[in-house]
Structure 1
Amino acid sequence: MAIDVHGHVTSPTLFERFPMPPSLADIDGMVEKKAEAGIDTTIVGSPVGAGTMVRVPDLDNYRQPLDQLAAFHEWVAEQVRARPGRLRAYAYTDPHGGDGILDAAARLLEQEEFVGLIVNSSINGEFLDTERAGDFFAMAAEHRVPVMLHPPAEPAGSAGLRDPRLVEHVARPGDVATGVAAIIFAGWLEKYPELRIIAPTAGGGLALLVQKLEIAHRMPQRMGPAGAEPPLTAERPPSASLGQVYVDTATPSPAALGAAVRVFGAGNVLFGTDTPPMNAPAQNALRILDQLGLSPEDRERILSGNAADLFGIQAPVQTGAGS
């Protein structure tokens, strides 16, 4: 049995407005295919709220009317209620969006359907390492819910990439690694020990950069670009914050996943597929995990135990041939 912490769905209304992968609309098909693979529960959400990850001219995902976001989240809640035990959800919010959108997200967390928050690792090229994100982190810590730090539609620096394939498969994981590092260096995890951050795609390569982060932390702080808001600074070394960072298994690379397990520990790894919209069979994620030579106890923790504890949800009933 398994809990998939990384899935996405999109409402029919948004399909009428934006180009999107068809798999995002086939919720029953997703649930059925995952059950056949032994994946019993999926935590779903949208990293763009009522927007789209596909580049659309003149579309700003961070300028969404509150009523539009509310309608989207109500639709998500309906999907969860219609599939008890199979789906739970993340509430989307914009950490820089102000009191209105943060208050709306906080109210969603009072509903049983929503068990975490999903936000972007950077917002219009800006990471979450300044006071602008302070109210968001205070809210997340108060509610003690995990925060999925998902890459945005347009990662920092991606405007210089001409090939959209590089944006999706290189820039977005890189944005996750940089975004987590920025949060650690800003001291948000130090200030709020209740915070738990989920870094998808096996942390975006962060496992290979921990020693570099330690070196960077020991260096004298330097000024950033002229006119930029000065970054906040953590007192403790980055390694002291890693226990509050979880990574998921949504990577096609056994090497990357193996490094993540070694660095973060099996207790901080969550099973995730990024399906939908990724079109690889769900069984592939299980096969990659099986290549790591994990003990039965660690494998079970990654498949379901860690997520059940982190999200405070009951481990799913065993179903499907792949359980």
Structure 2
Amino acid sequence: MIIDVHSHIISPEIVRRSPMPASLGDIEGAIEAKQDAGIDLTIVGSPSGASTMVPADCVDGYQRPFDQLRSYHDWLGGTVQSYPRNLRAYAYCDVYADEKSLESTAEILRDPAFVGIIANFSGADGYLDSSRCDDFFAMLAEVDVPVLLHAGPTPACGNGVTDYGMLEMVARSCDATLGLAAIVLSGRLEQYPNLRFISSGSGGATSALADRIDFAWKPAHWDDWIGAQRRSKKTSDLPSGPPARLGVGGRTNTAPSEMVRKLFVDTTADGPELHLANLRVFGPEHILFGTDAPPMPTVFRDKVASIRALPITVAEQERIFSGNALEMFDIQDITATEPVTAASR
């Protein structure tokens, strides 16, 4: 059994009014192509709510009128009901959502068609270490579902990037890297130890930088300057240097290089290099099969073959293909109200 935890579809109403790859509207075509490659179930969602990922198509980057977002979720839930053997869905939630929107997200998740939340690594002016996200994290702890973190149409790190191709393929990977580091340094993984975050984009460069984040937490190379600052009674006598906050460390009490291993990543990266790095840092127990297709022009058989080619056991392959997802998501067979398992497929 293979479960694709990262894919997108768009409603006909959005297709009519917005620019997007045509594949996002071809639901049956995507299902058939995946079935041909042995992919049984796909979890779909929109990382931009009731809009597309084109920045010009968004209002304030992420926000849409409440009724539009609710209409999109109604369509998405109905679509899953039409393909109960092939689809499940994520409910979109703005990380800066107000109380009404957070309550609506919790309500949507009562529908068994929805098995998780899709949210962004960053908002228009910051990352998930912002106090503006406190209510979002409190809601996540209450609903207790996995969260697919995905770059939004205008990631915070993309400010000043005018080439859309670079924004889409490079800045959004940088957003994943910064977003995961912000979560780890913020202490939220200690505050909410049961939260489960899956990073799209295979975690960006997190596996390459996991140990280096420790220096952002406790920058030993600034110890001399920090010591002088603390010993001085006249701050005006100090040479100019980094902000006073430097050296205090993040809000996590545990080394980020250890905390980062609580995160999960998908397999959307192309080529074996990042998969191998992720195996070293996260292990096969924290990697889930994901294609980002639609809209990415993925050859599904090649994607499946790339995971089978990794230097891991067959049992570890099966964890990546479906075992981890089945443990993480409450996936019910909508037609029979029975849990979906590898044997039942």
Which TM-score tier does this pair reach, normalised by the shorter chain?
over 0.9
Structure 2 equivalent of residue 7 of structure 1: 7
- Alpha-carbon distance in structure 2 between the residues aligned to 1:224 and 1:74: 49
Structure 2 equivalent of residue 209 of structure 1: 209
The runs of 5 or more residues in structure 2 that have no matched partner are 227-241, 332-339
- Deviation string, structure 1 residues 276-317 (Cα, Å, up to 9, x no partner): 000121122112212312100100000000001011222356
SS at match of 2:96: coil
- Would the alpha carbon gap of residues 36 and 316 (structure 1) be closer, same or farther in structure 2, given more than 3 Å must change? farther
Structure 2 equivalent of residue 258 of structure 1: 276
- Deviation string, structure 1 residues 19-77 (Cα, Å, up to 9, x no partner): 01110111111111100000000000000010110131673243311111111001000
- Alpha-carbon distance in structure 2 between the residues aligned to 1:132 and 1:316: 40
Structure 1 equivalent of residue 234 of structure 2: none
Structure 2 equivalent of residue 275 of structure 1: 293
TM-score by length of 2: 0.86
Q: Write out aligned runs for 1:243-254 (5 A).
A: 243-254=261-272
Structure 1 equivalent of residue 142 of structure 2: 142
Q: Which amino acid aligns with 2:322?
A: S
Instruction: Kindly state the Cα deviation for residue 116 of structure 1 after the two structures are TM-superposed.
Output: 0.6
Q: Contact conserved, 1:130 with 1:232, CA < 8 A, in 2?
A: no
Q: Contact conserved, 2:63 with 2:94, CA < 8 A, in 1?
A: no
- Would the alpha carbon gap of residues 117 and 203 (structure 1) be closer, same or farther in structure 2, given more than 3 Å must change? same
- Alpha-carbon distance in structure 2 between the residues aligned to 1:170 and 1:113: 32
- Would the alpha carbon gap of residues 292 and 134 (structure 1) be closer, same or farther in structure 2, given more than 3 Å must change? same
Q: Which amino acid aligns with 1:266?
A: P
- Would the alpha carbon gap of residues 23 and 224 (structure 1) be closer, same or farther in structure 2, given more than 3 Å must change? farther
Instruction: Kindly state the Cα deviation for residue 224 of structure 1 after the two structures are TM-superposed.
Output: 8.9
Residue identity over aligned pairs, in percent, reads 41
Q: Contact conserved, 1:19 with 1:54, CA < 8 A, in 2?
A: yes
Q: Which amino acid aligns with 2:218?
A: R
Please point out which of 227, 235, 238 is paired with 2:256: 238
- Would the alpha carbon gap of residues 317 and 277 (structure 1) be closer, same or farther in structure 2, given more than 3 Å must change? farther
Q: Which amino acid aligns with 1:118?
A: I
Q: How many correspondences in the alignment?
A: 315
Q: Contact conserved, 2:146 with 2:195, CA < 8 A, in 1?
A: yes
SS at match of 1:247: strand
Is the aligned partner of 1:315 residue 2:325? Answer: no
Q: Which amino acid aligns with 1:238?
A: P
- Alpha-carbon distance in structure 2 between the residues aligned to 1:68 and 1:32: 29
Structure 1 equivalent of residue 303 of structure 2: 285
- Alpha-carbon distance in structure 2 between the residues aligned to 1:263 and 1:312: 26
Instruction: Kindly state the Cα deviation for residue 223 of structure 1 after the two structures are TM-superposed.
Output: 4.5
Q: Contact conserved, 1:40 with 1:316, CA < 8 A, in 2?
A: no
Instruction: Kindly state the Cα deviation for residue 242 of structure 1 after the two structures are TM-superposed.
Output: 2.7
- Alpha-carbon distance in structure 2 between the residues aligned to 1:137 and 1:310: 18
TM-score by length of 1: 0.92
* Large movers: runs of 4+ above 4 Å: 220-225, 316-319
- Alpha-carbon distance in structure 1 between the residues aligned to 2:296 and 2:78: 23
Is the aligned partner of 1:51 residue 2:51? Answer: yes
- Alpha-carbon distance in structure 2 between the residues aligned to 1:164 and 1:316: 40
SS at match of 1:39: coil
- Alpha-carbon distance in structure 1 between the residues aligned to 2:255 and 2:309: 32
Instruction: Kindly state the Cα deviation for residue 274 of structure 1 after the two structures are TM-superposed.
Output: 0.2
Structure 1 equivalent of residue 34 of structure 2: 34
Q: Contact conserved, 1:130 with 1:231, CA < 8 A, in 2?
A: no
User: Which one scores higher on RCO, CA 8 angstroms, separation ≥ 6?
Assistant: 1
- Alpha-carbon distance in structure 2 between the residues aligned to 1:40 and 1:223: 52
Structure 2 equivalent of residue 122 of structure 1: 122
- Alpha-carbon distance in structure 1 between the residues aligned to 2:117 and 2:44: 10
Q: Write out aligned runs for 1:10-89 (5 A).
A: 10-56=10-56, 59-89=59-89
- Would the alpha carbon gap of residues 11 and 255 (structure 1) be closer, same or farther in structure 2, given more than 3 Å must change? same
Q: Which amino acid aligns with 1:251?
A: A
- Would the alpha carbon gap of residues 201 and 62 (structure 1) be closer, same or farther in structure 2, given more than 3 Å must change? closer
Q: Contact conserved, 1:267 with 1:302, CA < 8 A, in 2?
A: yes
The runs of 5 or more residues in structure 1 that have no matched partner are none
Q: Write out aligned runs for 1:80-99 (5 A).
A: 80-99=80-99
- Would the alpha carbon gap of residues 162 and 108 (structure 1) be closer, same or farther in structure 2, given more than 3 Å must change? same
